[in-house]
Amino acid sequence: MAQAKAFILDFIGTLVSAKGYSMDASMAKLQEALTAEGFATDKEQFLEAYGKAHERYRLVRYGELREVTNAVWVAETLRNLGFDVAENDLRLRAALNVFFKDYVDSLELRPCAVKLLRKAAASGRVGLISNFTYAPVVHASLRRLRICGFFNAIVVSGDVGWRKPHRKIFEDALARLHVRAAEAVYLGDSPSEDIKGAAAVGMRTVFVASQFCSLKDCKTSGVEADFIVEGLDEVCRDFERIATV
């Protein structure tokens, strides 16, 4: 047995919690921001068209584990409403930044998150793997929370094109960290995405309960983690044992 060379973490739910966020409010701001960028639409028609486009790509994202960024279905929404616009139009990015601002602002570090990151950084390399359709949100959140400096590799599904639990996103992170799966520990709050995916490539796994997934959810999922904890404080307390591979 040896000390792990890398500690890899999920982001949303695992390191941070979202407090007081309203998707309805953000959707209204998206429609308003797009109107300000020259794409004036009726709100109800926009929401209906957006819902259809979002659902179409949701099936791709969860069925094939191929990540699709928000600009793709926003562009399709607008085309279905009569606008000639491509997904790489900078006006869409400006509107998406408005759309996600409230979400970025809602994220708060979980208790002991910084303490855990310090321990991980002191013991080896630190990586982050996040399923998020719009990568700038993850990077902006890390900067706002002042934890960017802890990570040697940041892998976001919106950048690499694959979602957890697809093995390619885990392999990408391992390659960036220059470690083998057997030399890494992975911590996440989703049995089906984090634990199942990390275990499939050969990493030691730690499930941590979150606002999205409870200890009961983990136990009834049928997915087995090497360690199951209720909070990051437990990981800090048992770090040496958890980080031994």
pLDDT in tens for each of the 245 residues of the chain?
A: 788 999 999 999 999 999 999 999 999 999 999 999 999 999 999 999 999 999 999 999 999 999 999 999 999 999 999 999 999 999 999 999 999 999 999 999 999 999 999 999 999 999 999 999 999 999 999 999 999 999 999 999 999 999 999 999 999 999 999 999 999 999 999 999 999 999 999 999 999 999 999 999 999 999 999 999 999 999 999 999 999 98
Q: Pairing state of beta strands 107-109 and 16-18?
A: antiparallel
Question: Could you identify the residue written with the tokens 């996040």?
Answer: 130
Following CA atoms 147, 151, 156, 161 in sequence, which dihedral angle do they give, to the nearest 10 degrees? 170
Looking at residue 96, its pLDDT comes to 98
Put simply, whether the predicted model's pTM sits higher than 0.85 gets the answer yes
Question: Could you identify the residue written with the tokens 């993850």?
Answer: 138
Question: Could you identify the residue written with the tokens 């950084």?
Answer: 121
Question: Could you identify the residue written with the tokens 């616009």?
Answer: 85
Task: Count helices and strands (H / E) in the chain.
Answer: 12, 8
Looking at residue 127, its pLDDT comes to 98
- Cis-peptide, bond into residue 111, ω within 30° of zero: no
DSSP assigned state of 110: P
